[in-house]
A and B are shown apart, each in its own frame.
Chain A
Amino acid sequence: MIEFRDVGKRFADGTVGLESLTLTARAGEITVLVGPSGCGKTTSLRTVNRMVEITSGSVHLDGRDVAAADPAELRRGIGYVIQQAGLFPHRRVIDNVATVPVLQGLSRREARARAAEVLERVGLEAFAQRWPAQLSGGQQQRVGVARALAGDAPVLLMDEPFSAVDPVVRVELQDELLRLQADLGKTILFVTHDIDEAIRLGDRVAVMRVGGRLAQFAPPDELLAAPVDDFVAGFVGRDRGYRRLGFVPATALRLVDLPTRADANGSSGVPEEWTVLLDGAERPAAWLGPDGARHDLGSLYVTDDHDAASDGAGTLRGALDAALSSPAGRGVAVDGQGRYRGGVEADDVLALLDRGRETERSVARPGDTRR
């Protein structure tokens, strides 16, 4: 558990980095600090491992005031991941990861063994002997995470760790972090300026304004459903209703039956209504329209979308996307293997959303089922 108690930081030049931050990052959870550039996110993070010395208040790690600790010792017990990974270019991947165990006093051999374990855990064992310059940005970032994990620290500080990689890789890295977190249950303080990332990763999200002032500190669904003021509302975005869809599990969504036909027989007659053509493995191949032509399926609704609830439902956003992007006015639902499951009506999705609004507070977050 990380507690900020009335933490203030005034830099030597008079800049106020933090006014008075009071916040608790619960043990075993991902707490995200999000806010515009310069609002004090990095400063907050660095007060925890004393790379920034605070000028008022106190920071407590598992109940102990960090001011009482030796800074270097303190840092060896806290994993830290930064934006450009910050790998040591003169050390091979394995030795980068072994850095903290070596600093903690393990022999080089033991430290390498520990590093090899961690690399295996993040699926990078094949890269152990490479130099950092031989890795892609995303791989470097994963090594950065591995290095932070190698010290077996219960606490991780992550400062915009995925901001420098392209959006596709970013999502992969986020997924991987969630997967690791489900196993490891670290106390993570994660900084980002990207509200989508905050909502995706955070068990609780702290929206900050300049000066490190907390605008709102709440679980993501609450932040989206009930922003406390215009600043937070603006920050979480005008399209937050839509974003929120991406977030609500579509457990209760009814799938409808659609007319289907084997693709091999597709040309045997023009159908009365929109019909899904299935390939030999039961996977949708195309729509066959009443005009007799083949049409794109549009986006598919994957019922057991991996980042959604664990009970086999995708998210409402995925369902709505499928319904709205289909030429037939109904979306096609598939399972994780891409096999046809049924159809999705946009009206059903919207009805569910309305019901969700009414029972706002009782909506289970998909995040709660992660671990």
Chain B
Amino acid sequence: MRAFGYDIDQLVIAHVLLAVVPVLVGLLVALPLGWWAHRSRPARRVLVPLSGALYTVPSLALIVFIPVVLGTPILSPVNVGITLTVYTVALLVRSVAEALDAVPDTITTAAIAVGYRSAGLLFGVQLPLAVPVLTAGLRVASVSAFSLVTVGALVGIPSLGTLMTDGFQQDYTAMVVTGIVGSVVLAFLFDALWLALGRSLTPWTRARTGV
């Protein structure tokens, strides 16, 4: 589909990839870090404030700073990808640590008592039970990634944000609105996807209680 002289499909695909890949990579990075923060008090004292501080760095600053540090081309989508990954990690380290903290002691005690080793305990018991809290964190990270992707358009990385920046320059309101509505709709769609995924992984949370 073309509009305003752009291939909209391609912008949508670019937008989605640019938002979703960093969120998933960020989650994978945040899991071991959050687990470490859950296990070790000193690690937590460093990791949690550090990730909080990272989140306060302005996105544009990161996007232009990353090529300087990593030597990536200034127009590479990787810069945006890494920026969003950093934000996701910053958001999720704490979520993961808190999700693991929230698993009741009686359950971890029982798991150790029946003979789980630490890996089995983590993947078989703690993580599954952490899914509701993790899903909540992931949804925040995802919504924020979908909106931050548009910032990349300022430095020429294509996404639906391109419609906003270019539309703004051309004083073309319909184009700007299309960009905004499109990115909001995508953010909602993926939010709904994470929600559905989280729910499908946690059927027990909807079991009627009582007998």
CB nearest neighbor in A for B111: A88
Contact A82 B113 (CB under 8 A): yes
* B129 x A89 contact (CB < 8 A): yes
Compute how far the CA of A77 lies from the CA of B210 in the bound complex, rounded to whole angstroms: 33
Whether a CB of chain B sits under 8 angstroms from the CB of A103 is: yes
Report Cα–Cα, A72/B114, bound state, in Å: 8
Q: Which residues of A contact B110 (CB under 8 A)?
A: 80, 82, 85-88
CB proximity to A under 8 Å, residues B192-211:
202-204, 207-211
Q: Mark A46-65, 1 if CB is under 8 A from B, else 0.
A: 00010100000000000000
The answer to whether B117 has its CB under 8 Å from any CB of chain A is yes
Give the number of residue pairs across the A-B interface with Cβ within 8 Å: 73
* A134 and B209 form a contact (CB under 8 A): yes
CA distance A72 to B119 in the complex (A): 12
The reply to whether the CB of A349 lies closer than 8 angstroms to some CB of chain B is no
Is B204 within 8 A of A80, CB to CB? no
Select from chain A the residue with minimum beta-carbon distance to B117: A72
Interface bits A136-147 vs B (CB < 8 Å: 1, else 0): 100100000001
B115 touching A100 by the CB < 8 A rule? yes
- Does A133 contact B211, Cβ atoms closer than 8 Å? no
Are B202's CB and A72's CB within 8 A?
no
Residues of A within 8 A of B (CB): 49, 51, 72-76, 80, 82-91, 99-100, 103, 130-136, 139, 147, 151, 157
Instruction: Judge whether A90 and B128 touch: CB under 8 Å.
Output: yes
Complex partner residue of A131 from B107, B114, B207, CB under 8 angstroms:
B207
List 11 additional contacts besides A89-B129, A134-B210; criterion CB under 8 Å.
A74-B115, A75-B115, A76-B114, A82-B113, A85-B106, A86-B106, A86-B107, A87-B110, A88-B125, A134-B208, A139-B211
Give Cα A147–Cα B115 distance, bound, in whole angstroms: 12
* Residue pair A90, B129 in contact (C-beta under 8 Å): yes
B169 in contact (CB, < 8 A): no
Please report which residues of chain B, range 91-113, place their CB below 8 angstroms from some CB of chain A when the two chains form the complex: 106-107, 109-113
Task: Point out residues on B near A: beta carbons under 8 Å.
Answer: 106-107, 109-117, 120, 125, 128-129, 202-204, 207-211
Verify B210–A76 contact, CB threshold 8 A. no
B106: contacting residue among A76, A84, A99, A134, CB under 8 A:
A84
Determine whether the beta carbon of A89 is less than 8 Å from that of B107.
Answer: yes
Contact B204 A131 (CB under 8 A): yes
Known: A89-B129, A90-B202, A136-B211. A82 touches B115 (CB 8 A): no
| Chain A residues positioned under 8 Å from B113 (CB to CB) | 49, 51, 75, 80, 82, 86, 157
Q: Would you list 6 pairs from A and B whose C-beta atoms are within 8 A, ordered by A residue?
A: A72-B115, A74-B115, A75-B113, A85-B110, A86-B110, A134-B211
Please indicate the chain B residues that have their CB under 8 angstroms from the CB of A88 in the complex: 107, 110-111, 125
How far, in angstroms, from A365 to B211 measured CA to CA in the complex?
39
Q: Which A residues lie within 8 Å of B128 (CB)?
A: 90
Expressed in whole angstroms, the minimum distance between the Cβ of A152 and any Cβ of chain B is 13
Asked if B115 and A51 make an inter-chain contact with CB atoms under 8 angstroms apart, the answer reads no
Across the interface, which residues of A come within 8 angstroms of B210, CB to CB? Answer: 134
Give every chain B residue within 8 A of A87 (Cβ-Cβ): 107, 110
Task: Pick the residue among A84, A89, A100 that contacts B114 (CB under 8 A).
Answer: A100
| Chain B positions within 8 Å of A135 at CB level | 211
A74 to B117, CA, bound (A): 12
Chain B residues with Cβ under 8 A from A157's Cβ?
113
Contact for B109 among A86, A100, A134, A147, CB less than 8 A: A86
Most buried by A among B109, B111, B114: B114
A99 to B129, CA, bound (A): 16
Chain B residues near A136: list those with CB within 8 A.
211
